[in-house]
Amino acid sequence: MELLDSLDHKILEILQLNNLTSQREIGNKIGLSAPAVQRRITRMRELGVIKKDIAVLNPEHLGQLITIVVQVEMEADKVEMVTKTKRKFEQTPQVQQCYYVTGEADFMLIVVVSNMKEYEKLTHELFFNNPGIQRFKSSICMDIVKSGLALPVPK
Amino acid sequence: MELLDSLDHKILEILQLNNLTSQREIGNKIGLSAPAVQRRITRMRELGVIKKDIAVLNPEHLGQLITIVVQVEMEADKVEMVTKTKRKFEQTPQVQQCYYVTGEADFMLIVVVSNMKEYEKLTHELFFNNPGIQRFKSSICMDIVKSGLALPVPK
DNA sequence: TAAAATATGAAATAAAATTGCATAAACAGT
DNA sequence: ACTGTTTATGCAATTTTATTTCATATTTTA
């Protein structure tokens, strides 16, 4: 059984805002006992509904980090090339996020580096060294207006 | 005192991967007692170095969610307009992320909606209703190759 | 060098998570 | 409708974890 009911949804809603909320407190809010909450959470972790639990850091406290949005165009979308490129992006720690998208660009990347030298080096590794990539466009981020991973949870 | 030392960095490194790691375990890895770890974590929360603690959900388990990367161009960047627009994007729950960037586009948004109807409505609210916005380009996400918020932590 | 501020570990305490168990609710097959 | 089965629940007990206290050590400041 894979389905989530409305209580599960309420739990997810709470945890994606603050996963340090105690089971007792969650239980109070949604009308369940702490153990019941705990079993549901465990189950959702096993199902993969909850992918991970993380602390979100403030980039402003970690030196002068540079965030860059990169649009990447591939030559002709050969499936193999795309797969390989995806894997490369995945494995690169500076690539915080990678979306494979429709439209002019094929990939949208969010990249975080410590300085421009590092970015230049990275472009060689990721783009110039990849014959499948036609061009890429870098937009420097001046302000991270909003940053999160929260998803809409069914009511 | 605001500075972080190398032990703090190690703690951050661990917590941004898994913030459910126990203090004892963190202590073992970095050579501190559990209480020492706990005090450092508390301090970093107070300083805002740790912004929040969240569960990351798997979009594939929450219905057919649609992720869209949107490039937004403003008319002439009037400061007021930009500020107001930022605030609007911030407050919109479907806008998961918003970057104010250099280059052709002024904003890059990551938007998550439940269906296209919702997106159409959202474009009216966010873009057509905003006279400061010249045009916007939507790229539908076919694959979220990588998704995270981990930052490079000084060694 | 003395005084003050800061960080630490060990031990004690408090809080939270987890497990065991009996019960109730939902379900499937007859 | 009846019965056996599965599944979810709450309570109480247990275990683990987080937090506080306190004495000591280390660093900083005057």
Whether the pLDDT of residue A2 is over 80: the answer is no
Is A150 part of a structural domain of the chain?
no
Place of tokens 């202590």: B27
Same domain, B39 and B83: no
Q: What tens digit of pLDDT does each residue of A7-41 get?
A: 999 999 999 999 999 999 999 999 999 999 999 99
Is B54 part of a structural domain of the chain?
no
Is B95 part of a structural domain of the chain?
yes
| Shortest CA distance from B11: residue in chain A | A55
CA–CA gap between residue A67 and residue A71 (Å, rounded): 13
Same domain, B110 and B86: yes
Same domain, A66 and A120: yes
Which candidate in B99, B116, B119 is best for mutational testing of the A interface (most A CBs within 10 A)?
A: B99
Residue A121: CATH number of its domain: 3.30.70.920
Same domain, A64 and A135: yes
Quick check: B79 and B87 in contact, CB under 8 A? no
Same domain, A73 and A104: yes
Which nucleotide lies closest to B27 by the C1' atom and the CA atom? Answer: C9
Whether the pLDDT of residue A139 is over 90: the answer is yes
> What is the biggest distance separating any 2 CA atoms in chain A, rounded to whole angstroms?
57
Distance B5 CA to C1 C1' (A): 29
DSSP-derived secondary structure letter, B93: T
Q: What is the domain range of residue B38? A: 6-47
Count of beta carbons in the 10 Å neighbourhood of residue B10: 19
- What percent of chain A is modeled with pLDDT above 90? 94
Same domain, B96 and B126: yes
Same domain, A11 and A73: no
CA–CA gap between residue A136 and residue A127 (Å, rounded): 8
Quick check: B74 and B133 in contact, CB under 8 A? yes
pLDDT band at B2 (very low <50, low <70, confident <90, very high): low
Same domain, B43 and B73: no
Q: Is A111 exposed, middle or buried (0-12, 13-18, 19+ CB in 10 A)?
A: buried
Span A106-110, mean pLDDT? 98
- Report the number of distinct structural domains present in chain A: 2
CA–CA gap between residue A25 and residue A38 (Å, rounded): 11
Span A102-131, mean pLDDT? 97
The two structure tokens encoding residue B73? 């161009």
Looking at residue A79, its pLDDT comes to: 86
How many Cα neighbours within 13 Å face the side chain of A152? Answer: 17
Contacts of B54 in chain A (CB under 8 A): 15-19, 53-54, 56, 148-150
CA B15 to chain centre: 16
Residue nearest to nucleotide C11 (CA to C1'): B35
Is B145 part of a structural domain of the chain?
no
Is B132 part of a structural domain of the chain?
yes
Coil, helix or strand at residue A74: strand
- What percent of chain A is modeled with pLDDT above 70? 98
Mind telling me how many Å the CA of A100 is from chain B's nearest CA?
A: 5
CA–CA gap between residue B49 and residue B64 (Å, rounded): 34
Rg (CA), chain A: 20
Coil, helix or strand at residue B143: strand
Which candidate in B16, B60, B69 is best for mutational testing of the A interface (most A CBs within 10 A)?
A: B69
Same domain, A64 and A119: yes
